[in-house]
Amino acid sequence: MGLCTSKPSPNPSFPPVSRNTPIHPRNKDIHHKSSSVPASPLPDVVNGNHNHKHNLDQAKGTEEKESSNSNNEGKKSPFFPFYSPSPAHYLFSKKSPARSSANSTPKRFFRKPFPPPSPAKHIRAVLARRHGSVKPNESAIQEGSEADGDGAAGATGAGLDKSFGFSKHFGSKYELGEEVGRGHFGYTCAAKFKKGELKGQQVAVKVIPKAKMTTAIAIEDVRREVKILRALSGHNNLVQFYDAYEDHDNVYIVMEFCEGGELLDRILSRGGKYTEDDAKDVMIQILNVVSFCHLQGVVHRDLKPENFLFTSKDENSQLKAIDFGLSDFVKPDERLNDIVGSAYYVAPEVLHRSYSTEADVWSIGVIAYILLCGSRPFWARTESGIFRAVLKADPSFDEAPWPALSSEARDFVKRLLNKDPRKRLTAAQALSHPWIKNYNDVKVPLDILIFKLMKAYLRSSSLRKAALRALSKTLTVDELFYLKEQFALLEPNKNGTISLENIKMALMKNATDAMKESRIPEFLASLSALQYRRMDFDEFCAAALSVHQLEALDRWEQHARCAYELFEKDGNRAIVIDELASELGLSPSVPVHAVLHDWIRHTDGKLSFLGFIKLLHGVSSRTFAKAQ
């Protein structure tokens, strides 16, 4: 829910409707929560001849028509070059690969695989809604699309404990003002301090009626949102949280008042897109706050332009992240499995029910694409169509203005929108990308990814460590930049080495209460191998480089060939199949001979190039199962 008071012009001008007219269809939230707010998403090109009436029968008909079209192989969609069945049945019929988490949200269960699809809205409908002539929740997916199986009890919330333990003195401290935003589960009002040093200072208050909390999930979402806002304190690009209150009827979340409006409105006021330099400025602020959240073990799960507000109407005002209603705590080696977020910004792995912080970076990639060209990378008339596009389609970089933009800008967005989360940049890595790293002396923050990679390295065989060392020697200056920044943040001693103590100190320096909730300190125990030894920069590069991310580069094969040549000179040795299986920690029950046979040269018994590549990735039993 937006915390801004910006209001559109009372007399908007409507562009003529045509096939090539940019429109702003309503944002499609996969799961509506207490803080969602109706807001127009972003410009895109579609057929302007839409029926705007929203009801479930029509939506169902649209879905059936789309499904029947998918069987018509001879036709081409005017919107997508492919037809494929909705991912819903596949996604929900297979067992989730994600491990359950004791501290994550309960799994959402829908009466239908996805909430009913809703037709995209033309800009006239969007602007009318934003001007108040349409009821705010008119086109929202109904609350009934999510259920916890309680039937009638679930509809009223009967029997649920709606006591949060918050202060009950809201009325004595704040004077509630006019409503400035409304969502499906609540609304936002301006308010003022009644007394004390802050008397008269304006704040934003998110009001969540307890009557809307009809499921245990809805109650837990509110409880967790407050916990995360309270824990993530002190970052310049995070909305300031003051306190949470409750009474018999409502929960009140008091936050900083941001009068500059949504990033979405700022984009629209600029004609739908930014210059590269202005886009960099926005991206740096978004990446900074998201990398901060990820280091603390918090994944936002609903990043979109509507959830970033400017503190003032000044062109250079600060950007603040808001709306942590869908956020969750996640351990570094943990996966989440509930499908939440907003359809246009949801990552492919979220639809596959196995994701972590990388899903936020995908959403940032969508925002970056929009900032630079004024259109969404994935679009469809229905939510199921959007999901198919996210899973199957590739964003276009051939149409204007992309050819006129810098190659670094295109590469930046492509690396954020990689469908494989292992190959996607982290938020901290994105800040070290050539497109951004030299802009206004940007600082690269500590990245939790290096600790995950170091953990895997320390558990690797000596042969794999040698392979990784060879690969690290092929890195370019740009690729080494991120690793140098991370190593410096660990504050090595005068000899240029780090130990487990350096890692602990670096994390403590950046720690908030959220880090305790995500159990990152427990994860550090897996790095105990560093307790009695030190690591220099060369070994750190081998330990902290991501093979999967290097694989995403156009020059990957060149890297791999050069690394193999180095490995041949210093590291490769004769090895028998059983020894290699033991080196890789494979179970004796795994039939490895058929697979490993191609990994070892017949001439001298050493690793082949294929074996070298497999060794770099590490091997799991799944690899062998696929190969049989």
Mean pLDDT for 57-84 is: 40
Residues in the annotated binding site for ATP = 206
Torsion sign across C-alpha atoms 494, 499, 500, 506: positive
The answer to whether the 22-139+272-430 and 447-570 domains have the same CATH topology is: no
Looking at the DSSP assignment, which residues form a beta bridge with residue 202?
Answer: 192
Residue in 466, 613, 476 with CA at minimum distance from that of residue 539: 466
Mean pLDDT for 240-262 is: 95
- Rounded Cα distance, 380 and 389, in Å: 7
pTM score, whole prediction: 0.77
- Which one of the listed residues 221, 243, 265, 302 is annotated catalytic? 302
- Beta strands of 10-69 (E only): which ranges? 22-23, 44-45
**Range 156-256 has CATH code 3.30.200.20:** yes
* Amino acid type, 101: S
- Rounded to 5 degrees, what angle do the CA atoms 334, 336, 339 make? 170
Catalytic: 554?
A: no
- Rounded Cα distance, 419 and 423, in Å: 8
224-247 pLDDT per residue, tens: 999 999 999 889 999 999 999 999
CB 358, CB 426: distance < 8 Å: yes
- Rounded Cα distance, 186 and 206, in Å: 7
Spell out the CATH class of 447-570. Answer: mainly alpha
71-97 pLDDT per residue, tens: 444 443 333 333 333 343 434 444 444
Looking at the DSSP assignment, which residues form a beta bridge with residue 536?
Answer: 497
- Of residues 233 and 591, which shows the higher confidence score? 233
Torsion sign across C-alpha atoms 163, 166, 172, 178: negative
Q: Averaging pLDDT over each range in 120-129, 566-575, 579-588, 615-624, which range is the top one?
A: 566-575
Q: What would the CATH number be for the domain defined by 22-139+272-430?
A: 1.10.510.10
In which band, very low, low, confident or very high, does the pLDDT at 154 lie, cut at 50, 70 and 90? Answer: low
Residues in the annotated binding site = 206
Residue 585: phi, psi to the nearest 5? 70, 35
CB 359, CB 422: distance < 8 Å: no
- Rounded Cα distance, 416 and 366, in Å: 8
559 pLDDT above the threshold of 60: yes
Domain ranges of the chain: 22-139+272-430, 156-256, 447-570, 573-628
- Rounded Cα distance, 426 and 432, in Å: 10
Q: Averaging pLDDT over each range in 71-85, 269-283, 578-592, which range is the top one?
A: 269-283
The predicted structure's pLDDT at residue 587: 64
Q: Is 317 exposed, middle or buried (0-12, 13-18, 19+ CB in 10 A)?
A: middle
